[in-house]
């Protein structure tokens, strides 16, 4: 367990999630463990992948209806052109920079032509003037159902930005459909 004195906290954040269209097939949710937010919105339409079984079990406890599968995003065990929609809800902040491109290429591979990858993330730079090992923020998530989830996310990663994710996504072959920032939070919709 990490002592809070070892964590640099960003400002608390709140996000209101709108339902998003996905009329065809399954949704592949990268990092769908923990709160299982996408699995709570889209329920049994979601295949939630996470490297850690404990995260997937926690998502079920939190009300996710997704099909949980232990899987690494660097090696997706799905055929090419399988999914019309993929999501990543504050998961890329845990991915080492050297793995971002390979993961984005894998998602590009498993999406159908015109398939979309929706990414929620946070812009941060770990302040060099602080002697802290982790950077974190608390997040209140308002679901379309009205349910409120209060959680937090933290990482040892030193920085992440929407621009960085967009650059890797373009290199992986994606087209950027939308990108928006609200404070330190961002959302990107990519298309194959």
Element (H, E) at 16: strand 13-16
In the prediction, which pLDDT does 156 show?
87
Q: What radius of gyration, in Å, describes the C-alpha atoms of the chain?
A: 16
First vs last C-alpha separation in the chain = 40
Please tell me the pTM assigned to this model.
0.94
In the prediction, which pLDDT does 174 show?
99
Tens of pLDDT, residues 96-127:
999 999 999 999 999 999 999 999 999 998 76
Residue 3 covered by a domain: no
Identify which has the larger pLDDT, 172 or 23: 172
Q: How many domains does the chain have?
A: 1
In the prediction, which pLDDT does 129 show?
64
d(CA 83, CA 101): 19
- What's the rounded mean pLDDT across residues 38-62? 96
CA of 67: how far to CAs of 38, 48, 90, 110, 187, in Å?
Answer: 11, 6, 19, 17, 24
Q: What sign has the CA pseudo-torsion 162, 152, 99, 45?
A: negative
| Residue 16 in this model has a pLDDT that exceeds 90 | yes
CA of 136: how far to CAs of 8, 11, 42, 122, 159, in Å?
Answer: 6, 9, 27, 10, 11
Tens of pLDDT, residues 152-165:
999 987 889 999 99
Q: Which domain holds residue 34?
A: 24-124+158-191
Residue 149 covered by a domain: no
In the prediction, which pLDDT does 90 show?
97
Residue 132 covered by a domain: no
List, in order, residues 6 or more apart from 178 with CB less than 8 Å away: 187, 188, 189
In the prediction, which pLDDT does 1 show?
52
Average per-residue pLDDT for the chain: 94
Residue 101: how many CB atoms within 10 A of its CB? 14
The secondary structure of residue 93, as a DSSP letter, is G
- What's the rounded mean pLDDT across residues 125-148? 87
Residue 163 covered by a domain: yes
Confidence of residue 132 (pLDDT cuts 50, 70, 90): confident
List, in order, residues 6 or more apart from 180 with CB less than 8 Å away: 186, 187
Residue 4 covered by a domain: no
Confidence of residue 82 (pLDDT cuts 50, 70, 90): very high
| Residue 167 in this model has a pLDDT that exceeds 80 | yes
In the prediction, which pLDDT does 2 show?
62
Residue 66 covered by a domain: yes
- What's the rounded mean pLDDT across residues 69-79? 98
Residue 184 covered by a domain: yes
CATH value at residue 44: 3.40.50.150
In the prediction, which pLDDT does 130 show?
66
The secondary structure of residue 164, as a DSSP letter, is H
| Residue 75 in this model has a pLDDT that exceeds 70 | yes
List, in sequence order, every residue forming a beta bridge with 169; answer none if it has no partner: none
| Residue 68 in this model has a pLDDT that exceeds 90 | yes
d(CA 192, CA 175): 6
């Amino acid at each position: 367990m990490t002592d809070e004195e070892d964590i640099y906290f960003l400002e608390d954040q709140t996000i209101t999630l709108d339902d998003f269209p996905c009329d065809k097939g399954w949704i592949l949710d990268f990092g769908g463990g923990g709160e299982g937010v996408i699995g709570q919105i889209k329920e049994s339409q979601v295949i939630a992948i996470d490297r850690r079984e404990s995260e997937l079990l926690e998502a079920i406890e939190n009300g996710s209806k997704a099909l949980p599968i232990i899987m690494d995003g660097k090696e997706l065990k799905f055929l090419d052109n399988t999914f019309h929609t993929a999501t990543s809800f504050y998961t890329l902040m845990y991915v080492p920079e050297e793995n971002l491109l390979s993961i984005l290429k894998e998602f590009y591979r498993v999406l159908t032509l015109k398939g979309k990858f929706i990414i929620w993330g946070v812009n941060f730079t770990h302040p060099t003037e602080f002697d802290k090992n982790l950077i974190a923020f608390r997040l209140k998530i308002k679901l379309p159902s009205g349910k409120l989830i209060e959680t937090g996310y933290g990482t040892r990663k030193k920085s992440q930005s929407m621009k960085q994710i967009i650059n890797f996504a373009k290199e992986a072959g994606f087209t950027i459909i939308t990108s928006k920032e609200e404070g330190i939070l961002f959302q990107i919709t990519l298309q194959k």
